[in-house]
Amino acid sequence: MRRVLSFVLCAVLGAGAVSAADNAPVEAKKAPIDTIFPQGEVNPYGKFFTGTSYLTMLSNNDEVFNAPIGNVTFEPGTRTNWHKHSGGQILLVLAGEGRYCERGKEVQVIKKGDVVRIAPNVEHWHGAGPETWMTHISVETNVPNNKAEWLEPVSDADYR
C-alpha cells in the first residue's frame, strides 16, 4: 500500500518527516459510512492515535493559502491522543457519530453536520464512537503559526 508521508494530523503540514517503516502494518478497512471525500490511506502518524484512522488531504499546507485541510476517518474506538493546537482547529463532521472532549469536561457526542471550534491551546481529543465510524474535516487555523503538541493516549476509562 502506498503511504502518504506528507501528513500531520492536527499539525502544520510539511515535508514528510516520519518514515512509514516505523509503523506496524495495519489492515485497511472500507468505511461503511459515506466519507464524502475519498477515505484515503491509513494514517502514517498512528503513533498519535489509539486505533486506526485514514486521511485524505483536501488542501495541503502551502504558502499560497496557508490553509491545511484534511479529511479524517476513524474506525470505531479510534481516537487521537490528548493534544492541543497553538493556533486552534475547526472540525466539520461529515458522517457517522464520534466523540470530542476537552480536558476537565464531559465527553461530547458529535454527529454529521456538527462544527467543533477548538480554541488555541485547549487540550482535547477527538475520534469515533465506541461502536461507530466517524469522518470529519480538520481545518487548521491561524496558520502558519499553528503547532500541534501531542500528549498521552486517551485511556479507555476516559474514552468511555
Closest by CA position to 85, among listed 154, 3, 8 = 8
- Count the site residues for Mn ion by CB under 5 A: 2
CB nearest Mn ion: which residue?
Answer: 10
Contact 63, 84 (CB under 8 A): no
Check binding of 154 to Mn ion (CB under 5 A).
Answer: no
Site membership for Mn ion, residue 137 (CB under 5 A): no
Of 58-117, binders to Mn ion (CB under 5 A) are 89
Give the shortest CB-68-to-Mn ion separation in angstroms: 12
Query: CB under 8 Å to 141, separation ≥6 — which residues?
Result: 85, 87, 88, 89, 90
Nearer to Mn ion, 61 or 89 (CB): 89
From 10-18, 41-49, 52-60, 100-108, give the range in contact with Mn ion by CB under 5 A: 10-18
Minimum distance between the CB of residue 4 and Mn ion, rounded to whole angstroms? 19
Give me the least distance between CB of 82 and Mn ion, in Å please: 10
When asked if residue 10 is in the footprint of Mn ion (CB under 5 A), the reply is: yes
Residue (of 129, 126, 51, 147) closest to 82 by Cα position: 126
> How far apart are CB 83 and Mn ion at their closest, in Å?
6
Strands 53-59 and 41-42: antiparallel
Min separation Cβ 85 and Mn ion, Å: 6
Evaluate whether 60 touches 71 at the Cβ level (below 8 Å).
no
User: Interface residues for Mn ion in 16-55 (CB under 5 A)?
Assistant: none
Cα angle 95-16-55, degrees, rounded to a multiple of 5: 10
Strand partners, 95: 135
Query: Rule CB under 5 A: which residues touch Mn ion?
Result: 10, 89
